[in-house]
Amino acid sequence: MGSNMETLEITGQNLTIKDVVTTARYGRSVALSEAAIKRIEQSRSIVDRCVDESLIRYGITTGFGKFSDVVISKENNTLLQKNLVMSHAVGVGNPLPEEVVRAMMLLRVNALAVGNSGIRCETVNALINFLNRGITPVVPEKGSLGASGDLAPLSHIAIALCGMGEVYYAGKRMPAEEALKLADIKPVVLTAKEGLALINGTQCMTGIGALAVFDARKLMLTADVIAALTVQALKGITDAFDERIHRARGQKGQIECAEHMRELLKGSRLVTRQGEERVQDAYVLRCIPQIHGASRDAVGYVLDVINRELNAVTDNPLIFVNENDPSGGDILSGGNFHGQPVALAMDFLGIALSELANVSERRIERLVNPALSNKLPPFLVKDGGVNSGFMIMQYTAASLVSENKVLAHPASVDSIPSSANQEDHVSMGTIAARKARTILENAQNVLAIELLSALQAVDLRTESEGLGKSPQSVLSAPAAAVYGLVRSAVPMVDKDRIMYEDIEKVRRLIADGAVLRAAEQTLEIL
């Protein structure tokens, strides 16, 4: 796993979304920096002093939540931490994808590396061993309220470190105890504060969010590429993308999208100017910069929030070392575990992605509907009637965007008090993040259907109007490159065939960035 990548040094200060992707998705190895080790050891010394001197400090010598007034003896502290992670590991539902759990572990290591959590280095290194040795805890996807952190999901990681619960290892799902024996790793025995340090934070919602916003940025740019193909297939009017129009409004995402569209359409023989065939296009063509641009701005906002949260300390209480007296310091209770910043961002991301899918489905309708398609055959097929062509492709797209409209309802506007009303406002941020991930997958499928429809339309138009020897010869250079990529995997539809496999092939080309790379050879996603 990740053997050809340089080891990622964890400092607690400069983790990026790219670091999350390379580690979570491609197996990059990680290690603590020397400065991080020093900070961890300093904060740990303060915890040890509290225990030795029987000082009353939340989560260290007291119970949790509503039990914060219950003092725990020194003798019971190890049992307290074990009971904490066992009792909180109550997630339900399907397991989170392994890449998400790896992202959670990486983010937890990075947060602990800041040195405000009071954990031991050996416990942090146990998490690192899981990452580097390919041991991934089984974490059910449901059960987090997103305040007091992602308690249930993170507890499933914590119990695995202790040799309990289940993990994926060597391609199999197995008891954690068995995997640790196979990997020759000793289970962790948690001591004071360590259970709380492992489970109190926003790493589940942020891990999902980091991967989702990376993919969303890629999809956002790909949506422009696919829209440019549809514009050409429908002989769209390029005047709507004139720079002067968009400068006159001043919206950043809109200006950037219009510039992108001009580049993607440059040199096309299929596009028209206003007045040549019609004066104006429908909104789904004419307003691409305004619609896509707004989603572009939204994704930019989410990127900013997630980038900050990657290097945030989100557990409680926090330990602050006194620079002048390393043996002393302050232990302060606060609320950095509250997921509201991420919750709002994830809801916004879901809405922005829903809109990319909404407008894509309407462009599909224009392609398949003979009343709207500028002389293309009904449902993009020859011998219509005996062949249904792309008729039900549009149904599937419509179904997905309708589902997205339900999923786009904000999770962050809801709150249910917990822990006997001690925790009386929660963010539901992990629900928001999971919904955004589902909306993203639906949007990928809708755009895959649009891409297939646009290429089919280009094929039919080139042939029926005698425009050239090949469709690629009449397209802009970026569109021609995408045409070649997709047609190497999926041929034109001459007559009805099973097409669900075509959708999945193209969705994968979109998801892994192949479509974007074909259109723009030197592209940096983030």
- For 204, other C-beta atoms within 10 Å of its C-beta total 35
CB burial of residue 495 (10 Å; 0-12, 13-18, 19+): exposed
* C-alpha span between 234 and 410 (Å, rounded): 35
* C-alpha span between 428 and 416 (Å, rounded): 9
Helix (H) or strand (E) holding 9: strand 8-10
Q: Which amino acid is at 200?
A: N
Domain ranges of the chain: 8-201, 210-519
CA end-to-end span of the chain: 23
- For 190, other C-beta atoms within 10 Å of its C-beta total 26
Q: Does domain 8-201 have CATH number 1.20.120.550?
A: no
For residue 467, the model assigns a pLDDT of 85
For residue 322, the model assigns a pLDDT of 81
Query: Distance from CA of residue 106 to its chain's centroid?
Result: 15
184 backbone φψ class: left, alpha, beta (φ>0; ψ -120 to 50): left
For residue 53, the model assigns a pLDDT of 76
| Residue 177 token pair | 């105890």
Kindly give, in sequence order, each residue whose CB lies less than 8 Å from that of residue 502, ignoring residues fewer than 6 positions away. 452, 490
For residue 204, the model assigns a pLDDT of 98
For residue 525, the model assigns a pLDDT of 59
Peptide bond connecting 317 to the previous residue in cis, omega within 30 degrees of 0: yes
Spans in the chain with pLDDT lower than 70: 1-3, 59, 64-66, 68, 325-327, 521-526
R_g (Cα) of the chain, nearest Å: 27
Per DSSP bridges, beta strands 172-175 and 325-332 are: unpaired
Kindly give, in sequence order, each residue whose CB lies less than 8 Å from that of residue 114, ignoring residues fewer than 6 positions away. 12, 13, 36, 39, 311, 313
Q: What architecture does CATH give domain 210-519?
A: Up-down Bundle (1.20)
For residue 48, the model assigns a pLDDT of 85
Whether the CB-CB separation of 298 and 217 falls below 8 Å is answered with: no
**Which single residue is written with the structure tokens 């931490």?**
81
* C-alpha span between 89 and 139 (Å, rounded): 9
Whether the CB-CB separation of 251 and 294 falls below 8 Å is answered with: yes
List, as one string, the DSSP characters of 141-201.
EE---SSS-SHHHHHHHHHHHTT-SEEEETTEEEEHHHHHHHTT-PPP---TTHHHHHHSS
| Residue 519 token pair | 């259109």
Whether the CB-CB separation of 367 and 82 falls below 8 Å is answered with: no
Q: What is the 3-state secondary structure (H, E, C) of 442-487?
A: HHHHHHHHHHHHHHHHHHHHHHHCCCCCCHHHCCCHHHHHHHHHHH
Write down the mean pLDDT value for the chain: 94
474-495 per-position pLDDT tens digit: 999 999 999 999 999 999 999 9
326-384 per-position pLDDT tens digit: 567 888 889 999 999 999 999 999 999 999 999 999 999 999 999 999 999 999 999 99
Kindly give, in sequence order, each residue whose CB lies less than 8 Å from that of residue 507, ignoring residues fewer than 6 positions away. 444, 445, 448
* C-alpha span between 148 and 519 (Å, rounded): 44
* C-alpha span between 118 and 315 (Å, rounded): 10
Whether the CB-CB separation of 220 and 356 falls below 8 Å is answered with: yes
Kindly give, in sequence order, each residue whose CB lies less than 8 Å from that of residue 233, ignoring residues fewer than 6 positions away. 270, 367, 376, 453, 454, 455, 457, 458, 461
Q: Angle formed by the axes of helices 98-113 and 17-26, to 10°?
A: 130
Determine whether 58 is an active site residue.
yes
Q: Out of 58, 169, 283, 301, pick the active-site residue.
A: 58
Whether the CB-CB separation of 36 and 113 falls below 8 Å is answered with: yes
| Residue 325 token pair | 């007296």
For residue 40, the model assigns a pLDDT of 95
